[in-house]
Amino acid sequence: MRKLLNTLHVMTQGAYLHRDGETIAIKVGQELKLRIPIHTLEGLVCWGQVACSPQLLGLCCERGVGISFLTEQGKFLARVTGPVSGNVLLRRQQYRMADGADGALPTVRTIVAAKIGWQGRLFFVRRALRYAARSGPRISRGRLPSQVGSPAFTQARTVFLCVPNRRATSSTE
């Protein structure tokens, strides 16, 4: 079982964080205040004058624990994270598709259609809620006006029928 959103905030000024095996040890002066296993954390936030050993930074990067440094007032200073994995071949293909009109047009059509669809839905839901608020107790909670059915998809379809399909025109030329 993996615990989520476990972040350790170190706010004691003058604290020193270092690696002790597979744990983070926090010292203030010469006194050990806390020892916590690294596998229980997902993030570490150091507020103000808090120091970290290089070995601890390396351990956190290996284990995927992000370290953030903030001022005492909470202003962001820096963030230390480990290597980020990604698929280079996939990214190159995405760039190629975005550069060419043949690859970008279907993607753009889909994105714009989704945006228009959601705007249409939001418009009609807001209108229905205003209607329900004006109607007061006369309208039941589960009943909305008949205009809630979204013609936004029809609008999106009309817009995209006006845009020429480059694949169709390039194959016929």
Q: Is 155 exposed, middle or buried (0-12, 13-18, 19+ CB in 10 A)?
A: middle
In tens, the pLDDT along 129-156 reads 777 667 655 544 444 444 444 454 444 4
In tens, the pLDDT along 110-119 reads 888 888 877 7
Report pLDDT for 137: 53
pTM listed for this prediction: 0.51
Q: Is the pLDDT of residue 9 over 90?
A: yes
- Say how far apart CA 71 and CA 16 lie, in whole Å: 16
Report pLDDT for 135: 64
In tens, the pLDDT along 86-131 reads 788 888 888 887 787 677 777 788 888 888 877 777 777 777 777 7
Report pLDDT for 80: 94
Report pLDDT for 116: 82
In tens, the pLDDT along 28-59 reads 999 999 999 999 999 999 999 999 999 999 99
Domains and their CATH numbers in the chain: 7-80 (3.100.10.20), 90-172 (no CATH)
